Every structure is written in C-alpha cells, then in structure tokens.
Structure 1
Amino acid sequence: MFLKKLSTCFCLLPIAISAAISYNVEFEGIQDIRLLKAVKSASQLSSQKKRPPNSIHALRYRAEEDVPSILSVMHSYGYYEAKVDIQIHSSLDRNLVSILIYPGARYRLKTFDIHLDTDIEDTCAFMRLNHLGIELNKPIHTRNVLNAELKTLRLLAEHGFPLAEISSREIVADGRTKEVTVDLYIKTGQLALFGPLTITGSPGVKSRFFRNKVTWEEGDIYDSRLVEKTQSKLIDSELFSSVLVRYKGQIDADGSLPMQIDTSEAKHRTINMGLSYQTVFGPGVTFGWENRNIARMGRRLSLQGDLTHMIQTGIAKYWHPDFYKVGQDFISQAEAQRDSLYAYSSRSYNAQARIERKFNEHVSFSYGVRPEMLYVSESVENGKFWLLEIPLYLRYTTTNSLLNPIKGITLEYVAIPTFNMKDTNEKYLYQQISESTYWPLDKKNRVVFAQKIKVGSILSHNLSEIPVPKRLLGGTDEDLRGYRYRTVSPLRGRKPIGGRAAIYLNFELRFQVTKSIGLVPFLDLGNVQTYEHLALHGKWFKSIGLGLRYFTFVGPFRLDVAFPLDRRKHIDSVYKILVSIGQTF
C-alpha cells in the first residue's frame, strides 16, 4: 500500500511541474526609456517571470493586477489620462502577454505655490522654485514635487524653522488645458534660536574641545547647516565611534531651542602594522603608534616608521588643533630618512614647526621653519649640507572631495626660501604652482576629465648651490608615472643632474564602469631643465597608461600601469606599477 501511494506521488510530480505556465511580456506604446524602465520595475509580470503561475487564469489574474501599478507610474510622470489594455496570446509552445499602454497627453506644471502660516521676511530670497528643483511649464513629475517638499522643509530648517511641517497639499489637474497647479501648505512653527548645549557620552574629552568644534553661538538663529558642520567636525576628529548633534524638546518661551550632542568615544590609542609592495620601492614594512587625545583635547602624538629597500623613514609628530584660534593648528615633527635612489643616496635629519590656518572651506595657508642636516653621496655632486628652510603654502579649492574629486578646481602655491648655514652666501628659492581641474562629462558624473599642470622653479646663483635631492627630478607617481623614480632630468653620463625649472602636464579620463570599479586611461608630459627660468624647448618626456580604481568607503584604491614612451634603455623599465589610496590628483 505504501509503495502504491509513493508511486502515485512520483507520477503526480511531473504533472505539477508541467502545469507551470511560462510566458513572455511585451510593453507597447511608450517611447521614453526612463518611463519604460519604471513601468517594468512596477510590473509583477516582469519581476516574477521566473515564478510562473500554474494556469492561464492565474496568468490573467497576475496581468490584471499590474494595471493599477502601471497607471500609478504613468500618473507620476504626468500622464493622467493613460489607459492600459492587456492581451494574452496563448499557443502550444508559448504564451505572450502584450501590455498596450496609451499614454495620452502629458500634463505640465502651471503653478507651484507655497503657503506659510507665518509671515517670514525675505522668504523669496532663499525659497525660489529653482532652488527647489521646480520648473514651471514643464512636464510634471511626482518625484520632483515630493523632492521639492523635502527641500522646502530643509530650507526652512536652515533659516530658523526646524519644526516646520507640511499640513496639506492640493494638486489640481485641468483636463481642458492639460495643466496642473500645486499648492503646498506649511505650518512653520515658532522662529527658533540656538539654546543651551548639553554634551553626553564623552567623559574622556574636555567640554572645551566640543566648544571649539561647535559652529554656532547661543542665541543665533537656528541653522541646520551649522548643526551638520559641527557633526562633521566631531566625526573628523576620530575621537568618537558615533556622533549625533540634535535639538532636544520644544522651543522655550524666549525662542531658544535646547541642543544636545550625543557621542560614543572610540579608542584613542592605536597601533598599526602592514606590508606593502611597489615596483618603485620593492617590498616594505610600515608600523606606527598614535594617541589622538593628548590632554583630553584631541591633540595627537604619533610615531611612524616605513621601511623599504630604497627608502627608510621615521617620523615623530605632534599636532595641536585650534592653537590659540579655532581653525588654526600647530604641527611639530622630527624626521629621519635614508634614501638609496638611482640619482643619489642621502641621509636626512630634520625638525619642523609650522602653523596651518584654514580661513574657510576653500582657502588654507601654512608657514613654518625647518632646519635640516643632509648628507648626499653617489650623485653628480656629493656633500654635507646644513639647511634652514622656511616653507610657505597656499591652497584654494572648490573640489567636492579630497580623494576622489569629480568637479571643481584646485590651485596650490609653494615657496621655500632656503639658506645654507655653512655658507651664508649660498641660498636659493624653490617655488611651485599647480592647477588641477575636474570636468564631469555626463549628468551622473560617471565620466570625468581631469587635468593638472605643475610648474616648478628654483632661483639660485648656480646649480651647485642646490643639493641634488632638493633639485627638480621627474618620475614620481604625481608627474611622469612611466619613468624611474626621480630620474627625469638632464644627465651627466647616466646620472641625473636635476633641474632648476620643470613643467608637468597630466591628463586622465576617469570612467566609473560599475558602482565599485573604474578605469582611467592617462597621459603624462614633462620637461625638466637646468636653466633657472622655464623654457618650453628641449626634451619632453611622455608616458601613457591605464589605471584600475576600486571604490571603497575610504576612497578609491588605485592601481596604475604606466609605460614610458621615451624610455632610456639603461635607466627605465618597460613599465611601472603604482598602488595607493585616492586618485592621482
């Protein structure tokens, strides 16, 4: 009896499987690719095609269930008179579902009016329709209307009304004129001022540190942008694993809104160790220690060592944020470095103290002093040098990101007057100016053209006053990527002399192929000369290559393969591989 039932089950199984109705779907009547994609995304016939129904009646039921969803999408794109007709064509070998869509006229947005229950001065100055992403007399899109509502609330929060809320909306479509009017009614609430601040969750950090990071004063009109900026500054300090800056409760009788900063402290001391490999320096080891909360004020003390076959470096660094002024930092460091390069070998011991000042989000400046003891050997001019450098640095940028910029411009100027303490008559002035520009070539910023020009100059009585390591030598991962590291310059025999003037041009076309993968073909040009002033004649070196980018939350992981087009047989290899974090420039 058991075997009989079992055989019956096995006999019924193929019948159940064969009962599934496979089908194909066709959408007709829509020319707009984006609209067609949205319709397909809303369709169960498309999304559940791999789970076919068990009968033709179930297929028809699934198709009929698609009609409200498709009409909803059509309405959101402004096709309020759209109609949908579904036809199922069945045969022995296949079933075809034809979805015929008749869009009708597309309605346009005639007016978009915002009604506030409070009379706010200069409302029009900050709440213009173009700020909200609204264009009149253009086809209406529900997504744009909803985004405009969110932007309206955000703008109100930026101008003192963080508790504003939408009380109602009226959307009227005129079937005769094919136009839509939108009226948005907003309850703004009372004008809010920044109130008293409460800090929780950080016993290991002094309250004065928080006060230095807060970007508003008590009694100022509430501005959500200042709240976001304060939160970003606290996160960037790396003292906290989580930060939330928010208002607490309701507006008091005097108009003040209590503020609160909730934090969770991270570990302030870290140890790092790692391995690396590059065709330039070979295998390497890196290690370090850091305390990010000296004196409970976010001051940093770090020790870092990097060892490769060609370069060994040790750095001790102290960083004091908000030094006498908010936004002004003091940095002091001591460094020892040994280089064994093709152009020279050197040992360097230096100390440095500098002030860094950020005037605003676009402009920063630094100045300092750096004494250095430098020993140079295995170069065209060896010697022992006691140098005193006074580095000056100025930067202007409008780029959107440090590690992966896709738009904007960056200008940098560096000047380093240098004095030889052994011979006060020997001195020189190093100067460098660079410009980087980024142009997105499509609306989604998936293709970006990036270019950089860098010009360097060293003013001196003669070339011999400048130690070889301080001269201009191309071939780094920032200029001529295809050539041997720091060898591009006029030669004496096979040894690079180094130059007093140089110009480098870099061009990249950055493609973001997928969400995490990018490709970057590039071209580098450069000219290094022994003359004091730059001349465009002479030997121009060129390199080309292809880079791979893997986008992470930290920044793009960069792997470049570069080829020298003017390869010097006994100096340069056929190709060079470069690996780092962040775009080249």
Structure 2
Amino acid sequence: MRLAVLLLIALLALGRTAGAQEQAATGFPYTVRFDGLDDTRELSALVRDSSALVSKLDDPPPSRAGLRRRAADDLARFETAARSLGYYDAEFRSDVEPGDPPVLVVTAAPGPVYAVSEIEIRSVDDRSAAIGVELPRRRIGLQPGAPARAADVLSAEAAIVRILQEQAYPLAEAGERSVLIDRDAKTMRVTFRIDAGPAARFGPVAVSGADEVDADYALRRLPWRYGETADIRKVERGRRLLTATGVYETVGVRFADAVGPDGLIPVEVTLTQRKPRSIGAGVSASTSEGAGVSAFWTHRNLFGGAERLDVNGRVSEVETSLTSELRLPDMISNNQDFILGGGLIEERTDGYDSRKVTVGGRFERRISDVLSVDFGATLERSRIEEDSIETQYTLVGLPVGFTVDTSDDLLNPTEGGRTRVRFTPYLETLGSSISFYSMTARHSQYVALDSNRDVVLAGRAAVGSIVGASTGNLPADKRLYSGGGGSVRGYGLQKIGPLDAGGDPIGGSALLEVGAELRWRVFGDFGIVPFIDGGQVYDTERPDLGQELQWAAGLGLRYYTPIGPVRADFAVPLNPRKSDDRYQVYFSLGQAF
C-alpha cells in the first residue's frame, strides 16, 4: 500500500513537470486590449506603435509573471509617449482578465493636453539680447497656446539654428534647452539656448579630389561670390549643382570649422570623379514598330574641362540612326553651354521613307535650377519618298525654346512637372527649300498620392502647329503625327489623323494630345498602371476642337530597377476606325512620359 501511494505521487509530479515544460515551450499566450484611448487618435496610435505587448504577441512570455513584467515595461513607455504629445498628467495601468487566452487590458487616463505658455530664446551665456538676428515666429512654428508637443519643440529649435545659418551665422548650433512644466496651470515654458557663433562672409574655397577635371569648372558652379554674407542655402545649392553635372560620383560642400579673424569662413569642396566613360544598350518592342535595339557611348570629361560627348545608335524596323552630340560647358559665360550635334538618320514608316544628314549647334543657358532656354541653328539635307515620289530638301532652321523641369527623377518621376516649348522657323532666305514655322508645347505633371510615393497620378498634354505652308507641301518628316508608344497608345505608329486611300498616315499641320495614368507600385518592385490616352492630328494650322479625339485605354505592368522601370503596356482603341488594329502592345525602359 505504501509503495502504491509513493508511485501515485511520483506520477502526479511527473505530470506537473511535463505540463510546466510544455507551457515553458509554448509560452504564456495572451491578447491585448486598450481602454480609454478612443478619443485620442494620435496618442492611441503612438501607444500601440511603442508597445512591446503588441509587437511581441507572436512571442509570448514564459509565464503570467513574465507577462506582467512586459506590461510594466510598456507602461513606462506609454507615459513617455503621452508626454511627447503634451499629456503630462496621463496615467496607465494594466490588468490580466481571465480568458482563453487571457486578455492583458491597458487602461489609460490621458488627462488634458498641456499648452505652451512662453517661449524664450537666449544665447548660451543666458543673455537673451545676444542674438542680433530677426527670428520670425512663423518660421519657428512653436507659438504660445500651441500644444506642448516634444516634436514641435525640437522642430522649433532646429528652425532657430537654421535661420541663423541662413543669415551670416554658419556655425550656429543649439545649446542645452530647458522645459518647465506647470502642473497647476497645465502649461509648459520653453527656453532655447543658442550658440550663434561669429558672423561670417564667404571666404576662400578649397577644392580637393577629381583631379582629372579642371577645378575651375567646379568653382564656376558655386552660387556665391567671395565676401558675400555666409548662407547655408547657397552651400546646399552648390552641392546640388555639382551633383547635377553628372561629372562627380560624390560631392561634399561644407563650411570650415572656424571663422577667420577677418570674418571670412573658408568653404571645403570634396569631390570624387565618376568614371569618365560609360557604355550601354537597350531594347524595345511593340506591335506597331516591331523590335529595336539601341546603344550609347558617353565620355564626360573629353578635354579635361567636363566636356561631354554622347554617341547614340539605334536599329529597328522603322529607324536606323547614328547621332552624336558634344557639349562644351561655360561657353562665353557661366551656366551657358554650347552643343554641337549631327546625325545620319533613316526612317521607314507607313507614310514615308526618308534618309537625311543633320548638323547643328545651339546655346543652352540655365536661368535657374529648373528653367533653361536654348537657341541655335540646324542644317538638314534629306531625301524623302512618299507615294513613290522622291523629293530632296534642304532645311535651315533657327530653333528657340525653353524647358521648365521640376520633376524628381528622369525615368520614374513621382512629383513635379516638365514643360517643353519649342519654336523653329525654316526660311527660304537662309537657303531652305521651303519656308514654314513649327511650334510644339508639351507638359507633364506628377502627383504622389501617398507618403511613400507608391501611388502616383501622372498626366500630360501636347499641342503643335505648323504655319506658312499647307500640309501637302511640307516635308513628310516635318509634319505632325500621333499614335504609338510615345504618344497615344492603342493606335499604330503615326496612325491617328488623316489617312490616304491605302490607310497610310499623311500627317498634319496641327496636333492635340492628352493622357493620364495611375502608377501604382503594388508590392516590392512590381506595379500596375491603368491609363487613358487621346489625340488627334489636323490638316489645318490650328487644332479643331470640334473634331473628336481618338481615345484609347489600357493597363500596364512595371518592374522597377535601379536604372528605371521596365514597361509593358497593353492598350485598345476606344473609338477605332475600320482601319485601326484591335490592340497594341509596347515594351521599353522608362515610364511612358
């Protein structure tokens, strides 16, 4: 009997040990509920985001005691989070309610939001009048009566330092701030202590690195003059301008650590040169244009002064071309380049065949970071066959135009816009076979619909007009056309507008195009793009707004790569003519516009 009792006790102990081991292996599962935060959406979100109880739901503690310890750690975090939003009286407590699994209940009593009562700005030695710069309250942001939020206090401090750095105090920095909480009045008093440092003017510039590029080229890009009032904005703009040249791999522009006794502060420019040569290739394909391959070769520092030579070649079913362009920077004046170009181009379209030689030169002047103007002259000798009739042309053009580009990326823009306007007269008095005047204007706009820029609404419009000669008298390759992957998707290449008896495009003297698409990066590197395009070509000098546009709609796929998105678009015409194909497919690199 005694042996049986001992055996029973041993079995029970073994069972308890096994149960404890099983619980230790699986942990102590639970769920979480927050009470008292329904009326404080921002605090509720911050509490949940900072909660280990929430983030570690799939990693439960080994026991109930472990859960309580986790909750206790969370309560301290919740109080810190609440204070950062101005809830200085906030209280949190936790309890475990029975259930399967148990429920960890966090009960919050946020209390009132404290307000800013007073803001003081003092120097580090506590003399409030020591900062002799106007500090506009609007830029500082923090105002008496505003919620006592920690983020706003830090933002205001950064704004004060920034204002000083923009107004002759490049070495300004924040000292130790003090915050006084009045729990009776439910207010917060903030005192900022700022070390403005000495006032300074731009001094000598030292350029290091990128020794194969003339240092004067970098110096000419800097947007300030020796002796001007020091301004951090000009330093930042100088960095952007040097980066935009494409000559340098890395760019560093910074003030030195000390102001000289003469009140001048040196500027240090540290550069790393990009590899001067690059080569690349691409492919494209569409149902209307067939397959094509292109290649390029670039030299970014041809003669040591950042001269750029580009050579491009393309072979496809509709085009064979070899073109080159030499860009000479700072010609005659800074921010003005001279571009020499030329090419051999053969086109084989349904409307015409052409072979031509082109040469030209133009000046391109950068007015600002986003605006540039250009003007020049071109000479073309062409032989064009249309309706089995071959005609030779000599055209001398005087193109002039401007570009406004506020977009953030060349191949995959997500914000900003691009406007390009060009006017080119071709005059018999200069040696042209025929006189006429061509004008085109194009604009595209990009709007990100979310903070991550995964959803972008893009739209575009284009208008063109040729005056001085009828459509039939214009060289076929100078007429206006629409239709294809670069204009109105869903229609064959150049197939929108007047057609001859055989269904081939004639082209026109006026053009109107519109389009919109929603670029949605769905997951990872993949996205979809629903789109709609419309356009028309007219035999008149001005678009006839009473004539219906040819519309098309479609869906595209995007695969995003470091060099730009790979594009695949499928489009169908919405109001097709009898001669139009039922659909079109396009493959290429980069967005449609």
Question: What is residue 169 of structure 2 aligned with on the other side?
Answer: 161
AA of the residue aligned to 2:549: W
The superposition leaves residues 115-147 of structure 1 with CA deviations (integer Å, 9 ceiling, x where unpaired) of 3466555513xxx33323435534332112212
Q: 1:526 to 1:213 in 2, by over 3 A?
A: same
SS of aligned partner of 1:331: strand
Could you state the TM-score of these two structures normalised by the residue count of structure 2? Answer: 0.88
1:230 to 233, 238, 242: 238
Quote how far apart the aligned CAs of 1:557 are. 4.9
**Contact 1:427-1:465 within 8 A present in 2 as well:** no
Question: What is residue 92 of structure 2 aligned with on the other side?
Answer: 84
Quote how far apart the aligned CAs of 1:21 are. 0.6
Question: What is residue 341 of structure 1 aligned with on the other side?
Answer: 349
Question: Separation in 1 of the partners of 2:147 and 2:412?
Answer: 35
Q: 1:423 to 1:317 in 2, by over 3 A?
A: closer
**Contact 1:452-1:506 within 8 A present in 2 as well:** yes
**Contact 2:285-2:587 within 8 A present in 1 as well:** no
Question: Separation in 1 of the partners of 2:19 and 2:284?
Answer: 59
Q: 1:430 to 1:521 in 2, by over 3 A?
A: same
Q: 1:484 to 1:303 in 2, by over 3 A?
A: same
The superposition leaves residues 96-118 of structure 1 with CA deviations (integer Å, 9 ceiling, x where unpaired) of 10111111111233444433466
Which segment is superposed worse, 486-495 or 151-160? 151-160
Question: What is residue 16 of structure 1 aligned with on the other side?
Answer: 21
The within-5 A match list for 1:511-530 is 511=520, 513=522, 518-530=527-539
Question: Separation in 2 of the partners of 1:578 and 1:113?
Answer: 61
> 1:199 and 2:204 equivalent?
no
The superposition leaves residues 450-490 of structure 1 with CA deviations (integer Å, 9 ceiling, x where unpaired) of 43332211102322221112111111444312211112111
1:363 to 371, 376, 383: 371
> 1:123 and 2:134 equivalent?
yes
**Contact 2:470-2:509 within 8 A present in 1 as well:** no
Could you state the TM-score of these two structures normalised by the residue count of structure 1? Answer: 0.89
**Contact 1:245-1:259 within 8 A present in 2 as well:** yes
Question: Separation in 2 of the partners of 1:302 and 1:405?
Answer: 23
2:547 to 524, 532, 538: 538
**Contact 1:270-1:291 within 8 A present in 2 as well:** yes
AA of the residue aligned to 1:305: G
Quote how far apart the aligned CAs of 1:348 are. 2.0
Quote how far apart the aligned CAs of 1:188 are. 0.3
**Contact 2:412-2:590 within 8 A present in 1 as well:** no
SS of aligned partner of 1:364: strand
Which segment is superposed worse, 335-344 or 363-372? 335-344
Question: What is residue 298 of structure 1 aligned with on the other side?
Answer: 306
Which segment is superposed worse, 128-137 or 201-210? 128-137
The within-5 A match list for 1:75-474 is 75-91=83-99, 93-116=100-123, 119=130, 123-124=134-135, 128-134=136-142, 136-379=144-387, 382-399=390-407, 403-405=411-413, 408=416, 410-419=418-427, 426-438=434-446, 448-474=456-482
**Contact 2:37-2:44 within 8 A present in 1 as well:** yes
Which segment is superposed worse, 415-424 or 379-388? 415-424
Q: 1:443 to 1:270 in 2, by over 3 A?
A: closer
Question: Separation in 2 of the partners of 1:364 and 1:239?
Answer: 19
**Contact 1:449-1:509 within 8 A present in 2 as well:** yes
Question: Separation in 1 of the partners of 2:180 and 2:439?
Answer: 65
Question: Separation in 2 of the partners of 1:422 and 1:254?
Answer: 59
**Contact 1:275-1:284 within 8 A present in 2 as well:** yes
**Contact 1:560-1:579 within 8 A present in 2 as well:** no
Question: Separation in 2 of the partners of 1:164 and 1:142?
Answer: 22
AA of the residue aligned to 2:87: Y
Question: Separation in 2 of the partners of 1:341 and 1:573?
Answer: 20
The RMSD of aligned alpha carbons is 2.9
Question: Separation in 2 of the partners of 1:267 and 1:536?
Answer: 51
AA of the residue aligned to 1:313: S
**Contact 2:284-2:589 within 8 A present in 1 as well:** no
AA of the residue aligned to 2:109: Y
Which segment is superposed worse, 352-361 or 455-464? 455-464
The superposition leaves residues 5-32 of structure 1 with CA deviations (integer Å, 9 ceiling, x where unpaired) of xxxx9x9788534321111111222134
**Contact 2:463-2:511 within 8 A present in 1 as well:** yes
Question: What is residue 26 of structure 1 aligned with on the other side?
Answer: 33
**Contact 1:484-1:573 within 8 A present in 2 as well:** no
AA of the residue aligned to 2:172: A
AA of the residue aligned to 2:162: R
Question: What is residue 6 of structure 1 aligned with on the other side?
Answer: none
Question: What is residue 485 of structure 1 aligned with on the other side?
Answer: 493
Question: What is residue 3 of structure 1 aligned with on the other side?
Answer: none
Question: What is residue 502 of structure 1 aligned with on the other side?
Answer: 511
Question: Separation in 2 of the partners of 1:302 and 1:51?
Answer: 58
**Contact 2:485-2:586 within 8 A present in 1 as well:** no
The superposition leaves residues 289-327 of structure 1 with CA deviations (integer Å, 9 ceiling, x where unpaired) of 221112211101222212222222211211111112111
**Contact 1:380-1:495 within 8 A present in 2 as well:** no
Q: 1:303 to 1:400 in 2, by over 3 A?
A: closer
AA of the residue aligned to 1:339: E
SS of aligned partner of 1:492: coil
Identify unmatched segments of 5+ residues in structure 1: 1-8
Quote how far apart the aligned CAs of 1:522 are. 2.6
Question: Separation in 2 of the partners of 1:497 and 1:13?
Answer: 88
Q: 1:378 to 1:549 in 2, by over 3 A?
A: same
Question: What is residue 570 of structure 2 aligned with on the other side?
Answer: 561
AA of the residue aligned to 1:521: P
Which segment is superposed worse, 442-451 or 391-400? 442-451
Quote how far apart the aligned CAs of 1:63 are. 0.8
Quote how far apart the aligned CAs of 1:186 are. 0.7
Question: Separation in 1 of the partners of 2:97 and 2:548?
Answer: 73
Question: Separation in 1 of the partners of 2:204 and 2:216?
Answer: 15
Question: Separation in 2 of the partners of 1:279 and 1:153?
Answer: 59
Percent of residue pairs bearing the same amino acid type? 29
**Contact 1:63-1:86 within 8 A present in 2 as well:** yes
Question: Separation in 1 of the partners of 2:93 and 2:344?
Answer: 78
SS of aligned partner of 1:235: helix
Which segment is superposed worse, 415-424 or 461-470? 415-424
**Contact 1:45-1:62 within 8 A present in 2 as well:** yes
Identify unmatched segments of 5+ residues in structure 2: 1-13
Question: Separation in 2 of the partners of 1:396 and 1:203?
Answer: 33
Which segment is superposed worse, 132-141 or 291-300? 132-141
Quote how far apart the aligned CAs of 1:268 are. 0.9
Quote how far apart the aligned CAs of 1:445 are. 6.2
**Contact 1:345-1:379 within 8 A present in 2 as well:** no
**Contact 1:385-1:420 within 8 A present in 2 as well:** no
Q: 1:403 to 1:29 in 2, by over 3 A?
A: farther
Q: 1:264 to 1:408 in 2, by over 3 A?
A: closer
Quote how far apart the aligned CAs of 1:399 are. 5.0
Question: Separation in 2 of the partners of 1:549 and 1:181?
Answer: 53
